[in-house]
């Protein structure tokens, strides 16, 4: 009986150790909207990450999400390509789905702007001049 109990505990412990990290996956995000999102299960010793590019300090519209090795995490690097200076920023985290892109506010804002413009155009179009 003791061997059976030990075997059961060993199996449960093995599954607990093998349990992997699940991260958001996005090969390319433009202004907070992922063009091909999903989730992925990281390999052992990997972590979730969010990588972004900022051009001239103000435009930060491109991001990438997924799993990666922990080397190079939480770094900021300045680069120049064809005379344009840009900054790459990589942040990592280690809980399930911790690398969200949080696209909802920008999407809602765009939708609200379109609806507002349509309502304003219909109101202004109905006013006799």
Q: Where are the domains of the chain?
A: 22-123
**CA 101 to chain CA centroid, nearest Å:** 4
d(CA 73, CA 71): 6
Which residue do the tokens 């413009």 mark? 117
Residue 94: how many CB atoms within 10 A of its CB?
Answer: 13
pLDDT per residue as tens, the chain (129 positions): 455 444 444 444 444 444 689 999 999 888 778 888 899 999 999 999 999 888 865 566 788 999 999 998 999 999 888 888 888 899 999 999 999 876 343 333 444 445 555 555 565 566 665
The vertex-12 CA angle with 9 and 16, nearest 5°, equals 135
CATH class for domain 22-123? mainly beta
Q: What six digits make up the tokens of 17?
A: 């150790």
| DSSP assignment letter at 43 | P
């Amino acid at each position: 009986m003791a061997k059976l109990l030990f075997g059961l505990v060993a199996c449960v412990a093995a599954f607990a150790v093998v349990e992997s990290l699940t991260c958001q996956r996005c090969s390319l995000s433009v202004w907070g909207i992922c063009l091909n999102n999903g989730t992925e299960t990281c390999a052992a010793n990997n972590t979730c990450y969010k990588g972004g590019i900022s051009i001239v300090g103000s435009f930060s519209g491109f991001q990438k999400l997924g799993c990666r090795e922990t080397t190079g995490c939480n770094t900021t690097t300045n680069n120049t390509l064809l005379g344009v200076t840009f900054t790459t920023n990589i942040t990592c985290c280690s809980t399930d789905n911790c690398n969200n892109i949080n696209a909802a506010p920008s999407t809602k804002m765009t939708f609200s702007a379109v609806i507002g413009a349509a309502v304003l155009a219909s109101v202004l179009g109905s006013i006799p001049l």
